[in-house]
A and B are shown apart, each in its own frame.
Chain A
Amino acid sequence: MNKLFFILLASTLLISCSSEQWTSLDDIEIEGISATGLVVDGEYIWLSDTDKNRVVKINLSGDIITEIKGLDRPMHLSMDGDHLLVPEYMMDTINILDKKKSIGYLEILSTPDAPAAVDKRGDDVIVADFYNHRIIYKKNGKSFNFGEKGKGLGEFHYPTDVQFAHDKIYVADAYNHRVQVFDLDANPLLTFGEEENMNASTGIYVSDEHVMITDFENDRLLTYDLSGKLIDIIEEGLHRPTDVAVEDGKMYVLNFKGQFISVYK
């Protein structure tokens, strides 16, 4: 009897310690919003409504709190302190919003062709330059580009999302169906995701311990550790996911189709 109790206790402890899987919490309906990018801002979520050329702030019930119009096909968003950075796919610009209105454009020197995403850390900026298959990198006040069209290490096939994290640059290398990691000098370090047969790795979020990536055509969300080891796959309940973010232990997955955000813990 004692032995059985010990086995049960050990199993329970093992499961609770090793559980790194996401559990579904809820869906947030976002009726009338066909969004490509999201960022979490405290109790609110900012969405780039690419279809309606606007950025909206919603509460966790899906109600629109703020609407900023006049953007031209906004894509993956990024927060920079009190500002929102909005890549405009049509205009080839990075619009800066003070959360109420546009206050100007980010200077990046190189001109992208359809910027899909942006991230800023201090004064350094990275932009996913979709049609040029490269990343525009503004570092220490100087702008240069890295990557070119291809499938090799350091090459891209239509990058769609970028993020600075852990003194590295993470890229959703969408149509190479993988994640690429670079050091801050733009040297390629690592690729992962190829084994999972993703079909367009479109949106990326890097947390303290994990890398989350949306698998657009396969309606999946994949979670890796920072070394690229697969931890978890969510295969149900998503519909053409394009972006993901994590805040306070909750993960928000933006579905381009169906107009809803899936929430996990």
Chain B
Amino acid sequence: MRNLLLIAIMSILTSISLDAQRDKVMTQVDGLGCPYCAYGLEKKFKKVKGIKNVKIEIEEGIFTFTVPSDLELQVEEVNNRVDLAGYTAKLIEIERAGGKVDKMELSYADVETNKSAEFAVFGICNMCKTRIENAARKTVGVGSAKWDKKTKILKIEYDSEQVNVEQIKEALAAKGHDTEDVKATVASYDNLPACCMYDRDDLKERAH
């Protein structure tokens, strides 16, 4: 009887210990506006093995979950996964089981620009706006990017010695956004959240 009690206590202690060995991941995501897509993202993450305590708070744009510490999940990997899901992370924090906190904030390099350009980029909502502007700004040599949801026009300033417009359009297409002359692949378009799936049949009509 005493042995059984000991085993039960050990079992509880082990489970507490195992449960404690989890890292807490918090990401602040820009553009978690649509409940259907946001909770869809939560649903997708819940199905990933090892991930627990998945929660999305749409109002604050905060997405949290925990992972086993021995996975040694890095902020870059979280950023890539959020990006692959079609979202843009402004802040990522991983609180390790030991108390250490790893952090990454969205930031852009300062660029001295010597040229500007504007062209139509196809998107539909505020999440698209965040993704388009981020994709452009993340391209080396781009100093500023501003996209207008109504006109679909992206205005950029860039350093022509580091980058050209074609390369910026390629970067946008890689994130699922068409321009007049550079199209996203079907795979990258299909990867967009539901609310970002702009109509691809009337591109020219929308541009003019």
Q: Which residues of A contact B (CB under 8 A)?
A: 34, 36, 50-51, 73, 89-90, 114, 116, 130-131, 151, 157-158, 160, 174-175, 199-200, 202, 216-217, 240, 242, 256
Contacts and interface: CB of A to CB of B under 8 A. Distances in A.
Nearest to A90: B43
B112 to A, nearest CB: 36
B140 interface: no
A130 B40 contact: yes
A41 B31 CA distance: 34
Contacts of A256: 35
B10 interface: no
B166 interface: no
Contacts of B57: 51
A162 to B, nearest CB: 14
Contact of B35 (A151, A157, A242): A242
A34 B124 contact: no
A50 B35 contact: yes
B39 A90 contact: yes
A73 B46 CA distance: 13
Contacts of B34: 200, 216
Given A34-B58, A157-B197, A158-B194, A131 B35 contact: no
A54 B21 CA distance: 31
Contacts of B124: 199, 217
B36 A34 contact: no
B36 A199 contact: no
Contact of B59 (A34, A36, A216): A34
Contact of A51 (B59, B197, B201): B59
B59 A202 contact: no
The SS class assigned to the A binding surface is loop
Nearest to A242: B35
B125 interface: yes
A21 B97 CA distance: 59
B78 interface: no
Contacts of A34: 35, 58-59
B153 interface: no
Nearest to A176: B199
A152 to B, nearest CB: 11
Nearest to B40: A114
Given A34-B58, A199-B125, A174 B35 contact: no
A89 B195 contact: no
Given A51-B58, A199-B125, A256-B35, A114 B197 contact: no
B208 to A, nearest CB: 15
B68 interface: no
14 contacts: A73-B39, A73-B43, A114-B39, A114-B43, A158-B194, A160-B36, A175-B194, A200-B34, A200-B125, A200-B195, A216-B34, A217-B125, A242-B35, A256-B35
A151 B202 CA distance: 13
Nearest 9 CB-CB pairings of A with B: A158-B194, A73-B39, A175-B194, A217-B125, A89-B39, A36-B35, A90-B43, A50-B35, A175-B197
A217 B124 CA distance: 9
Interface in B22-78: 33-36, 39-40, 42-43, 46, 57-59
